[in-house]
Amino acid sequence: TVLNRVNSNEFPDTIYNVIYQPDQFSPVGSGRFDAVEPSDECYQALNMVIDGWDKSQGALYFESCSEADNWHSRNLEHLFTYGRHRFYK
């Protein structure tokens, strides 16, 4: 979803600015994002995405919550659910 946002006119145009946009990603807000060292598997996944792989189907938003009725579900197009996450456009 981060690269989809970078490529969208609705969001900032750099990865850094998308990730650090206020109130968007809870690991950034909690400081956890900056405390984790990426593994080799993370870099492999990054290379796949850079090469054009997009399992998100163009999603710009995702959420992990149990409420079926919320802002996302009322205002965005639901694309799919994967595990406990719902993806939207």
User: pLDDT truncated to tens, each residue of the chain (89 aa)?
Assistant: 999 999 999 999 999 999 999 999 989 999 999 999 999 999 999 899 889 899 999 999 999 877 778 899 999 999 999 998 999 99
* Spatial contact of 64 and 38, defined as CB atoms under 8 Å apart: no
- pTM for this prediction: 0.84
Between CA 43 and CA 74 the distance in angstroms is 35
Between CA 84 and CA 15 the distance in angstroms is 25
